[in-house]
Amino acid sequence: MSLKLYRPSGRDLEPSPVEPEDWRKDLRSARWKPSRLANPEAQPLRPWQGLLFFGGLAALTFVLVVLGYVSGFWS
């Protein structure tokens, strides 16, 4: 069973046409066109540099946690 809205027309009822609503048009202004933001101070990293940095940070954190438990600092 479907729920349709029927409107009177003449002698009988006919289903109202379904118009898809675009809710995205309410979210932005027609004048809004963001410009590209250049950041001259940013240095792009290669993927292996990011992996090396965060992998080293994770390894250092692991070593500090293990040393903390071994030395009794965390207990």
Question: What confidence tier does 16 reach under pLDDT thresholds 50, 70, 90?
Answer: low
Cα–Cα dist 67/60, whole Å: 10
Which of 40, 56, 37 has the alpha carbon at shortest distance from 48? 56
Tell me the backbone φ, ψ of residue 12, rounded to 5 degrees. -130, -175
pLDDT of residue 71: 93
29-63 exposure pattern, b = at least 16 Cβ within 10 A, e = fewer = eeeeeeeeeeeeeeeeeeeeeeeeeeeeeeeeeee
Instruction: Look up the pTM and report it.
Output: 0.45
Structure-model confidence comparison of residues 71 and 29, the more confident one? 71
The pLDDT of residue 36 is above 80: no
Residues 41-72 have pLDDT tens digits of 888 889 999 999 999 999 999 999 999 999 99
